[in-house]
């Protein structure tokens, strides 16, 4: 080949920009690689305008991405090839998330200071009503002036009836609808001092009558009876059997008190219907108090009316007798 036609050799001095070499610099890092044809160093500007420091921890990265970031910092001294093009270097891989959001969140209840209390059980509701009754009763009992002053009703009214009326006006009573069978929250053996307490917990609604009943489809059914034995009472108890005397027959008027035959009406009819349809009747035993002052009332469980009949009383008038038998399997 003719030497005169050889390509002239050109010598160039390359002026490297700041940031190259091993000396520290404040200029952002740049990607570079060798040109395979010329063996020249080619410098490529980092194309991420939003991130000047590729080593800064990404605030919006997910947990997996955060682990990758920490691994890349740990292995910084090793020469590795990135699987991504150089144009992606320095960019946050995970989308920014709002505070508290992540791909898998723990249940809020595990980290929340706010604890939602469980609703009270029927038993707890009954006990709370009885506690409230005692509190109101004591307050009325302490207020002697309120009991003695005012109109004639205020002067003579029983404190337990006042306490019952107050609690009902405040909506502080439970089991407000009549029902046949067991009453939620009331256990066999529960003891009460006043009939008004029986009403407040939904066990027996009549504070003056012994037979409580309700009407279903035009038919009266007994729901509960209060049976008492002893002086002045004709009811009898014997090993899960109650002989109950029907209601009525005592006529009290302004001018005279007299007795007459009992009739198959109201509570007596309700007990007879309960026998025919075999519906449960709650039985409450009226017993003498431990201090001998009045009666106490003990819930004895569910009974079925076995039979009824008429018999002559001491006054010579007819009265109904009902035999009720306790349903087996109940606590004693």
Can you give the pLDDT at residue 233?
A: 75
Can you give the pLDDT at residue 21?
A: 57
Which residues face 46 on adjacent strands? none
Can you give the pLDDT at residue 188?
A: 97
**Dihedral sign, Cα of residue 266, residue 218, residue 244, residue 196:** negative
Give the chain's domain count. 2
212 and 168 co-located in one domain: no
Can you give the pLDDT at residue 178?
A: 97
Residue 245 lies in a domain: yes
Calculate the alpha carbon distances from 96 to 51, 86, 103, 329 in Å: 14, 22, 12, 66
Q: What whole-number distance in Å separates Cα of residue 318 and Cα of residue 311?
A: 5
Helix axes 122-142, 159-169, angle to 10 degrees: 130
The list of the chain residues with pLDDT below 70 reads 1-113, 144-157, 231-232, 251-256
Residue 13 lies in a domain: no
152 and 238 co-located in one domain: no
**Dihedral sign, Cα of residue 206, residue 208, residue 210, residue 214:** negative
Q: Is the Cβ–Cβ distance between 193 and 215 less than 8 Å?
A: no
Domain boundary residue, one of 149, 174, 199: 174
Which of 183, 208, 190, 195 lies closest to 281, judged by CA? 183
Residue 142 lies in a domain: yes
Q: Which helix (H) or strand (E) is 298 found in, with range?
A: strand 295-312
Residue 269 lies in a domain: yes
Which of 199, 203, 172, 207 lies closest to 186, judged by CA? 203
pTM of the model: 0.63
Q: Which residues contact 18 (CB under 8 A, 6 or more apart)?
A: 25, 27
207 and 125 co-located in one domain: no
Residue-range definition of the domain harbouring residue 126: 120-174
């Amino acid at each position: 080949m003719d030497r005169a036609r050889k390509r002239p050799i050109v010598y160039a001095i390359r002026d490297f920009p700041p940031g190259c070499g091993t000396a520290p610099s404040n200029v952002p890092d740049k990607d570079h690689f060798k040109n395979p044809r010329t063996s020249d160093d080619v410098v490529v500007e980092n194309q991420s305008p939003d991130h000047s420091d590729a080593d800064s921890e990404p605030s919006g990265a997910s947990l997996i991405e955060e682990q990758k970031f920490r691994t890349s910092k740990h292995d910084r001294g090793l020469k590795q090839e990135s699987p991504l093009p150089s144009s992606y270097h320095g960019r946050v891989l995970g989308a920014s998330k709002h505070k508290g959001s992540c791909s898998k969140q723990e249940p809020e209840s595990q980290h929340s200071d706010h604890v939602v209390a469980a609703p009270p059980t029927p038993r707890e509701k009954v006990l709370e009503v009885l506690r409230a009754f005692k509190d109101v009763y004591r307050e009325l009992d302490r207020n002697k002036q309120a009991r003695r002053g005012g109109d004639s009703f205020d002067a003579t009214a029983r404190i337990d009836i006042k306490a019952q009326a107050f609690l009902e006006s405040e909506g502080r009573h439970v089991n407000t609808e009549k029902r046949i069978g067991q009453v939620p929250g009331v256990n066999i053996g529960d003891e009460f001092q006043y009939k008004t307490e029986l009403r407040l917990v939904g066990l027996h609604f009549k504070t003056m009558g012994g037979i409580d009943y309700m009407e279903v489809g035009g038919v009266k059914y007994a729901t509960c009876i209060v049976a008492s034995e002893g002086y002045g009472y004709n009811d009898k108890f014997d090993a899960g059997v109650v002989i109950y005397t029907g209601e009525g027959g005592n006529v009290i008027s302004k001018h005279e008190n007299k007795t007459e035959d009992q009739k198959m009406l109201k509570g007596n009819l309700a007990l007879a219907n309960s026998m025919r349809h075999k519906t449960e009747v709650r039985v409450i035993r009226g017993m003498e108090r431990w201090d001998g002052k009045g009666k106490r009332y003990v819930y004895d469980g569910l009974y079925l009316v076995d039979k009824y009949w008429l018999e002559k009383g001491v006054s010579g008038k007819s009265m109904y007798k009902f035999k009720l038998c306790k349903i087996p399997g109940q606590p004693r």
